[in-house]
Amino acid sequence: MLLTFERMGALRWILVLWGVLVAAFLLLPVLFIVALSFGSSRWLQFPPPAWTLRWYQELLADPRWLDSILTSFKVAALVTVASVLLGLLAAFGLVRGRFPGREVLRAFFLTPMILPVVVLAVALYALFLRVGLNGTLAGFVIGHLILALPFSIISITGALEGFDKAIEDAAVVCGAHPFEAKLRVTLPALKLGLFGAAVFSFLVSWDEVIVAIFMASPTLQTFPVRIWGVLRQDLSPVIAAASSLLVLLTLVLMAAAALVRRGSRR
Amino acid sequence: MTRPFLDIKGIRKTFGPVVAVEDVTLEVAKGEFLTFLGPSGSGKSTTLYAIAGFQPPTSGEVLLDGRSLLAVPSHKRNIGMVFQRYTLFPHLSVAENVAFPLRVRRRKDAEIDAKVARMLALVRLDGMGGRMPGQLSGGQQQRVALARALAYDPPVLLMDEPLSALDKKLREKIQLEIRRIHKETGVTILYVTHDQEEALRLSDRIAVFNRGRIEQTGTGRDLYENPATGFVAGFIGSSNFLPAEMERGEGDAAAVRLPDGTRLTGVRMHQRLGAGESCALMVRPERLRLETASTGGVPVRIDDVTYLGDSLHFLVQAPWRQQIGVRMPIASGIDAGLTSGTEARLVWPASAGHLFAGAS
């Protein structure tokens, strides 16, 4: 007999409690920071003595904050496009290709996930010093692309492995040039994988801070880098507001991803 | 002799050290329904894929109406194909799936709409054009795939075990549909299957594949009644192979001796065999008879009797400890003494025996 949730008797309440505790452990810091961002205390007093939108006003009135948000967006958008395109090509090579060293290459493509980010950041910094990419948009994009690519490759190879090549072959016999067949049949079938790759790539870049700290210059920095920099000088509730915005955008993206997934399962 | 419509000449295909197709040569007439029948790994699908263009043959040539097909890339061959697996485009509706080959050919919208309607009517799926592939049953999906493959009036339609994923009842129903569609459209069909019943039911002619070669090509009746090799005899219908020793042969008639000493004359010989060679005598179960009164034939003991409605199926044991299947129609009047455990005589007309090389 299977041990189902309904059969557990008193034990199930212990399980429920455990679940609640784990969720609280994960969520409390986030809720805490969101609450502080609306609190009136300049010293991040908790619980907040009164509620206010003042910190959001200050945040949005400061062009340096807006600039950093814009930079983060630009970097994340460029990373997303590049990561999905490269990930797609890599996936075709890894899944369809028949060449020696294919498995090794596949493992190699995932190493940025395992390598300590700070090691990668130092290495990139040293390399970019020579070629003059530190503090440039291209530097940010390349650095984040390295971190985002494994997510793209995992997501798209997964989708491509689940796609029956015979369907593409059928399109070719029907008269479609192999390239047209990929464009009109294979890509639409991979859309969930491509979408997942895009969401993950965007998020990896959007909240990445280590590589970005190394890349940043006083005039060009991403949103998380600015949060970090301001935090070190002065503990202002504006940072709580900025962090809450970061969380909000992440939530919006995750919700959109969930909606797309549900829509296509129909 | 007129030029064959589809001319397959000496196709050979190797994958590294593995020979998938040894040497396949075949001529197909226009409008013919020809089936490649054989066990898996016999090279029938590989030959089909060579014609479709997915796996170019190592050597050989395929001519369609006198022109080489192999020189043409897959998407320009204008050949129809239905696959073993479901290959409808999952993001397109049924109608758009059927329209796909016409869209890539840049046909006009009005023409496409009319053709799609005609094709859906042909496979009896009128009114289903708006459905998505995921909403269809397996049988419906394969019918849409058939409509899609015929939408651009290809001269040749290739079918690679299209019904193998369906259950037996549905399979038989769609086999009838395929026959009807073949008659209505007159398209030349090459059909791959490992199911001999399906091959017999559908085809004008059957090519029996074994180990990368065609063993024999002919109508179902040819193959059943005059098998050229022991493999064909064993693959089509059920058969008994009795070990025998060649005594002498004249023309295509031979005299042989069975292991228990029984001598038979006037046996049909399908391969050249020398005196003293060991060989296999094939007899179909329905050509054998069991008798109690007779003194001729081979003495056997009945091991098992199965009632099959229109016939009785016996398993009998020969003196050389081989089990032989016998099938006797009930209408022919069966001796009531033929029960499990009793002794009887196994007899058959000399012309029912076919002699092949090698005891198998």
pLDDT of residue B192: 96
pLDDT of residue A266: 47
d(CA B144, CA B138): 10
DSSP B121-188: HHTT-TT-TTS-GGGS-HHHHHHHHHHHHHTT--SEEEEESTTTTS-HHHHHHHHHHHHHHHHHH--E
pLDDT of residue A89: 96
Closest chain B C-alpha to A254 CA, distance in angstroms: 24
Is B15 an interface residue toward A (CB < 8 Å)? no
Contact B213, B190 (CB under 8 A): no
- Mean pLDDT over A43-51 rounds to 84
d(CA A184, CA A186): 6
- Whether residues B91 and A171 touch (CB distance < 8 A) is answered with no
Closest Cβ–Cβ partner in A164, A176, A177 for B85 = A164
Residues of A contacting chain B (CB within 8 angstroms): 164, 166-167, 169-178, 180-181, 184-185, 188-189, 191
* ipTM confidence: 0.83
Instruction: State pLDDT tens for residues B59-74.
Output: 999 999 989 999 999 9
How confident is the prediction for chain B on average, in pLDDT? 90
d(CA A118, CA B289): 87
pLDDT of residue A2: 65
- Whether residues A175 and B101 touch (CB distance < 8 A) is answered with yes
- Residues of chain A positioned with their CB less than 8 A from the CB of B88: 167
d(CA B45, CA B49): 6
Exposed/middle/buried for B19, CB within 10 Å: 0-12, 13-18, 19+?
Answer: middle
Domain boundaries, chain A: 63-265
pLDDT of residue B137: 92
- Residues of chain A positioned with their CB less than 8 A from the CB of B78: 175
Closest chain B residue to A266, measured at CA: B134
CATH classification (class only), A63-265: mainly alpha
pLDDT of B306 over the 50 cut = yes
pLDDT of residue A265: 56
Those residues whose C-beta lies under 8 Å from the C-beta of residue B359, and which sit 6 or more positions away, are: B241, B243, B244, B278, B279, B280
How confident is the prediction for chain A on average, in pLDDT? 90
Print burial letters for A214-239: b (CB count within 10 Å at least 16), e (below 16). bbbeeebbbbbbbbbebeeeeebbbb
Q: What is the DSSP pairing of strand B67-68 with strand B323-329?
A: unpaired
Best of A169, A173, A183, A266 to mutate (most B CBs within 10 Å, chain B): A173
- Whether residues B76 and A175 touch (CB distance < 8 A) is answered with yes
Closest chain B residue to A191, measured at CA: B91
Instruction: Say how many Å lie between the first and final Cα of chain A, rounded.
Output: 33
Percent pLDDT > 90 in chain B is: 65
d(CA A239, CA A174): 58
Residue B19 corresponds to which amino acid?
V
- Residues of chain A positioned with their CB less than 8 A from the CB of B74: 172-173, 178
Closest chain B residue to A172, measured at CA: B75
Instruction: State pLDDT tens for residues B85-140.
Output: 999 999 999 999 999 999 999 999 999 999 999 999 999 999 899 999 999 999 99
